[in-house]
């Protein structure tokens, strides 16, 4: 790591406004055993070895449990074989589906380790920009919406999977194991929302910077302002570059595996399921 990068990492004091903006997702990532950094005593630092170990154990547990559950063809526990014509195909697709989530969980853990310093530098870049651009009027609404989005998602996620496991016919231990895995799968969507909220903050800063530029007039006094605005714009661009480096890989790999691919598999499962019901009904009435 270069001396410049090292110095940036250790100049890590955060203003309370910056902390407020990122506290919601900081706690959500902690609940999912997938923290990207540590915010404590007004400072942001890399995760400790203990945190990384706990995060690894959580990801490893989900990975192993998901693979075991997929191999056991847990889909049979949710659907009666008499109502499904292509149960073997559904079990195969279900196994691919849950295995993709398991792989995605491990990829998220690896991403958090590899991009630990860049995740911190993104927040520190916001701290640097904050010192030059005042968006205090927007911070309150940002903080509220960050909590709303996170809480709403977790509530819906919990209700759906609690209902799923209550209605299932699997034994209690399998229900607990499956629920923990489904709970941890939320990391994919939380990462996506986190990325969107960072983009929102960056856009707010950029809009405010544009307003400052439009207020400039010709004159020697504005020469200093132009230099200052150029420095601010450079910091905003650096923040965008850091964001792209961290989230571009995450979206292309983890989100593709954990969301889009699995969504397609889920739709295929539904088609096979309802096709089986129609087939059985036709056979009954024929």
pLDDT at 136 exceeding the cut of 60? yes
* Dihedrals phi, psi of 34, to nearest 5 degrees: -140, 55
Q: What is the 3-state secondary structure (H, E, C) of 197-259?
A: HHHHHHHHHHHHHHHHHHCCCCCCHHHHHHHHHHHHHHHHHHHHHHHHHHHHHHHHHHHHHHH
The model's pLDDT over 155-165, given as tens digits with 9 standing for 90+, comes to 777 777 776 66
**Exposed (0-12), middle (13-18) or buried (19+): which is 158, by Cβ within 10 Å?**
middle
* Dihedrals phi, psi of 99, to nearest 5 degrees: -65, -35
Minimal CA–CA distance to 28: which of 149, 177, 124? 149
Highest mean pLDDT among 177-186, 227-236, 260-269: 227-236
Which region among 172-176, 229-233, 250-254 has the lowest average model confidence (pLDDT)? 250-254
The model's pLDDT over 89-125, given as tens digits with 9 standing for 90+, comes to 556 666 677 777 788 888 889 999 999 999 999 999 9
Question: 69 or 260: whose pLDDT is higher?
Answer: 69
Delimit the domains of the chain by residue range: 3-285
pLDDT at 52 exceeding the cut of 70? yes
């Amino acid at each position: 790591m270069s001396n410049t990068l090292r110095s940036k990492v250790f100049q890590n004091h955060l203003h309370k406004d910056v902390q407020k903006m990122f506290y919601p997702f900081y706690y959500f990532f902690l609940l999912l055993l997938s923290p990207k950094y540590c915010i404590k005593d007004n400072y942001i630092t890399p995760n400790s070895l203990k945190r990384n170990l706990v995060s690894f154990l959580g990801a490893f547990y989900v990975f192993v449990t998901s693979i075991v559950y997929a191999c056991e063809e847990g889909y049979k526990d949710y659907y009666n074989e008499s109502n499904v014509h292509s149960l073997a195909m559904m079990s195969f697709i279900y196994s691919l589906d849950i295995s993709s989530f398991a792989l995605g969980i491990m990829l998220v853990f690896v991403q958090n380790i590899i991009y630990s310093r860049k995740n911190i530098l993104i927040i520190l870049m916001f701290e640097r920009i904050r010192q030059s651009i005042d968006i205090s009027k927007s911070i309150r609404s940002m903080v509220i919406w960050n909590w709303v989005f996170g809480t709403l998602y977790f509530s819906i996620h919990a209700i759906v999977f609690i209902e799923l496991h209550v209605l299932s016919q699997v034994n209690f231990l399998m229900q607990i194991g499956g629920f923990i895995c489904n709970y941890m799968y939320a990391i994919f969507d939380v990462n996506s929302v986190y990325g969107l909220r960072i983009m929102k903050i960056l856009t707010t800063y950029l809009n405010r910077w544009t307003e400052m530029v439009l207020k400039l007039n010709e004159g020697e006094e504005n020469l200093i302002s132009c230099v200052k605005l150029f420095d601010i714009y450079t910091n905003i661009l650096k923040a965008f570059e850091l964001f792209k480096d961290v989230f571009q890989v995450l979206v292309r790999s983890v989100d593709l595996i954990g969301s889009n691919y699995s969504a397609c598999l889920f739709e295929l499962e539904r088609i096979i399921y309802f096709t089986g019901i129609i087939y059985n009904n036709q056979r009954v009435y024929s």
